[in-house]
Structure 1
């Protein structure tokens, strides 16, 4: 197994007075979920162990009381030191290769997966974000490339190609660079010094993680942003993996707002309510007569909306298997209802209609129960996007090509099954996250939240009235 070394020796001066009570990495993203625990969840999921944490002597007891024996706590033997010295301390206890991680960076699991799957013999491999935010670009560790190779690393670089995201693979050749920089610059040297020295020798390469979610927490504003980003990361890590541009553009903005409207402990109830509405809508569609295309497409959009809201709320609540299975069951009924609506839209029956309908109904269980999987889906799995499937299949059926619609439905569902697997959900949040930040919500954002909630209610009412009139 690959060991992990976590650097946690900073004093978090820009997070005072909050950091006077506990170390920065023990501040919470969700109630009961610290930054460090969020990181450790991803290391555990990747099968990495043992985990070493290098910190200050005054912080050691806080980490031990929180983490117990799950992490090996190492302490630096001096008061003033840089983050490279933490790696230097760790090298006395663990030999490369190992993963070096910053304790104040939150990231999605896919970033870690890409880094671990990268094959290289270089001393260091960094994760490179080529399109960071303006704030991250100013604060982050900049990386310069020439002809695709890392040639310089440093915070003061003017010409850059991206920034490091806080995850670094350290291999055997790295020890010499760490020791050389410490001997020349002393304990206050930084990791960027060793990376820059190695880059000049061509001993640093990178993995492109542009577009993946991550955040470096240095200030109270950063922590507030990380808490919001945490919702999106949880949705990506524990929600469905086969969503494509249609759902992400036309459904997810509304469902993400709705799922985050109430307090965190209410998200399970939101998931149950959305699942109940989805179950009811699916049941109605199973017995509905043939509908006109506008109403049919409106109902299919409602199925996609409610399905994503139930799935997203369960992911944000970090719910257990019980709620996940309840949501999956509601989605299965809704899938059957959507298929029934499409079948009734078929203009005529062919000799193969009945077998195709049976296969389409059976395949509907695949996205409902295998849509949330451990491994990252293939490049073409976005084709199985629920909203795209519903609209495309209905459009083809209304056009008179019923058999084509059924074959498309079957192939679309089966695409979700590669690969398969359901990740274990982390503990459910309780109470309020520490610290409680005084972050003001703007007038425009309050209006948008209220409009999102009202718009969702209005959509359900209009759908109910339209169906009643039909």
Structure 2
């Protein structure tokens, strides 16, 4: 794995955070007691094992940083009072020889995966930025806008419209970036900004991006930002804990365990080993009950063991792994796994079935190997996200014990525990062999084929024509079938034993088929027109094009769900024998789809316009207060 140097810009004056920044630099303000913004950033970097970390700061803060960070970083002092953020980068490049490096802002917090995404970018461009396509309204106003054309970065400007999204302050700079940094300093002097270098590079098609939309991050510039950043900080910690583990853990266990572990960490001083010890006690109880044939209660205790064990692991992560006896916790987990496998296997070990004794041995060995293999790959910095999709992680194996126990089918559970991890271990070996390869790999530059064909202006007209014509065809087809129904209704077409197929069933099937066919064509035309409307609304609402498109598509899907709710269940009820059940199932599916779309839309609206909403409430409150005060006067 190739490691890169990291440059952190921490030389601003934080004027918008006064009076708080008069005594404390912004990057030393705390997200939680004892954890500063800079601490959080440096912890994000531990997984990538940087060659060196350079921090550019003002001379008056050097001593403070030296005392806090000791030998962890290399400090670079600025030599001017007023300068742009690109000048800070140029100071490091003048004093130290480096090729590619990772550039970070000292006032941005983000998930670990943001850094991982940009480091795994397979590009040869001078700069790779992290693009958030759905920033909030406030972020879109203040952030550096990234302008795209055919998925290529063509501009970077704070004054541009936030049509395509904004930069999030994490930038991978390759060797060619130094040319554009030097050019920007020559053209704009010490007040040159990173945006100036990106603009120059974009003109030469030397800027690309990774899409980190949906990941949590925050730029802290004001006191309000700091308050919000402290909230997002805990959300980031929870999400990073949720991202680890296998399929069962992520979708069933961690939505509960992360809430418990975060609450414990914030309110109590609990040693993770104590939680793991409780988990091991429950594992021993589960083993005893399984051995006694109490499958239901034993299976439930296995799941409780898994839940408590996850809480313990998450507490270790929240402590950044800096907790005593961490290896003892890992050993207790392995003992718990072996105990559960033994208890699970006991009812099957009889004289008549002695050959099955190999299965529990293999199952126990697999449980241990899977856990230690995952830990080993993580310590090497190998990305295990794809590996965890194989249903053979510890959480999945314990879930199999739970399911096969309550189903009274332990032998099938043992077979799974004995075979499934083999595929997991085989793929682990492949990942370990690949781990020596570089993360940043050159690849062919993706360009559109020449000549580049421009879509004709008549495309919009054709889409509108498609929308109108398919809507008319749908209406006429349904009208024709409705008018034909009285003439051909209740005619028996096929009779086979108890099965009777009538003309009504055929008409219902035709109506459904016609609705699906023309409805799909109408939907595609509407989605294209939504793109056109989105580009116009960007100028009015000044939010990103991606956000507007998301909102409009959600609105379209909500309308579609309501239409299906009214029309589909009555049609399904006409199907013989299974019609009623299908109608109920269809109504349930539509309801779930409607609820998810409505929730997604509400969440996006709040994220985008939440700051505006709060400002409106504050203004109304102020007006009411002024009115009340004047009446009293």
Work out whether the TM-score is over 0.5: yes
Offset at residue 359 of structure 1 (A): 0.9
Is 1:364 matched up with 2:371?
A: no
Equivalence for 2:303: 301
Is 1:5 matched up with 2:7?
A: yes
Separation of aligned partners in 2, 1:399 and 1:267:
40
Query: 1:395 pairs with 397, 403, 408, which one?
Result: 403
Equivalence for 2:286: 285
Runs of 5+ in structure 2 lacking a partner?
Answer: 433-633
Note the 1:26-425 alignment, pairs <5 A: 26-43=28-45, 45-95=47-97, 96-132=99-135, 135-231=138-234, 233=236, 241-244=244-247, 246-262=248-264, 264=266, 266-269=268-271, 271-288=272-289, 289-293=292-296, 295-320=297-322, 322-340=324-342, 342-343=344-345, 352-372=355-375, 373-374=378-379, 375-382=382-389, 383-384=391-392, 386-396=394-404, 399=407, 402-413=410-421, 415=424, 418=428
**Superposed CA offset, 1:59-105 (max 9, x none):** 33332333345433223332222212212333322344322211122
Equivalence for 1:467: none
Does structure 1 conserve the Cα–Cα contact (< 8 Å) formed by 2:10 and 2:56? yes
Larger CA deviation: 369-378 vs 338-347: 338-347
> What secondary structure is seen at the aligned counterpart in 2 of 1:151?
strand
> What secondary structure is seen at the aligned counterpart in 1 of 2:325?
helix
Equivalence for 1:457: none
Structure showing greater Rg: 2
Runs of 5+ in structure 1 lacking a partner?
Answer: 421-470
Separation of aligned partners in 1, 2:232 and 2:353:
50
Separation of aligned partners in 1, 2:282 and 2:9:
50
Separation of aligned partners in 1, 2:368 and 2:156:
49
Offset at residue 133 of structure 1 (A): 5.1
Separation of aligned partners in 2, 1:405 and 1:217:
51
Does structure 2 conserve the Cα–Cα contact (< 8 Å) formed by 1:7 and 1:87? yes
> What secondary structure is seen at the aligned counterpart in 1 of 2:95?
coil
Separation of aligned partners in 2, 1:5 and 1:130:
25
Offset at residue 239 of structure 1 (A): 9.0
Does structure 2 conserve the Cα–Cα contact (< 8 Å) formed by 1:241 and 1:371? no
Offset at residue 192 of structure 1 (A): 1.6
Offset at residue 243 of structure 1 (A): 3.2
Separation of aligned partners in 1, 2:20 and 2:419:
53
Does structure 2 conserve the Cα–Cα contact (< 8 Å) formed by 1:267 and 1:313? no
Query: 1:283 and 1:21, CA in 2 relative to 1: closer, same or farther beyond 3 A?
Result: same
Offset at residue 221 of structure 1 (A): 4.2
Larger helix fraction of residues: 2
Separation of aligned partners in 2, 1:322 and 1:66:
22
CA RMSD of aligned residues (A): 3.4
How many corresponding residue pairs? Answer: 417
Offset at residue 194 of structure 1 (A): 1.8
Separation of aligned partners in 2, 1:237 and 1:101:
20
- Higher RCO (CA 8 Å, separation ≥ 6 residues): 1
Equivalence for 1:423: none
Per the normalisation by structure 1, the TM-score is 0.76
Equivalence for 2:542: none
Query: 1:177 and 1:320, CA in 2 relative to 1: closer, same or farther beyond 3 A?
Result: closer
Query: 1:167 and 1:110, CA in 2 relative to 1: closer, same or farther beyond 3 A?
Result: same
Per the normalisation by structure 2, the TM-score is 0.58
Separation of aligned partners in 2, 1:392 and 1:333:
18
Offset at residue 153 of structure 1 (A): 1.9
Separation of aligned partners in 1, 2:405 and 2:170:
49
Offset at residue 367 of structure 1 (A): 4.8
Separation of aligned partners in 1, 2:304 and 2:366:
21
Equivalence for 1:20: 22
> What secondary structure is seen at the aligned counterpart in 1 of 2:153?
strand
Does structure 1 conserve the Cα–Cα contact (< 8 Å) formed by 2:349 and 2:356? no
Does structure 2 conserve the Cα–Cα contact (< 8 Å) formed by 1:346 and 1:398? no
**Superposed CA offset, 1:269-312 (max 9, x none):** 3x23422221111111222122254x344323212211111111
Larger CA deviation: 375-384 vs 408-417: 408-417
Separation of aligned partners in 2, 1:46 and 1:333:
31
Offset at residue 149 of structure 1 (A): 1.9
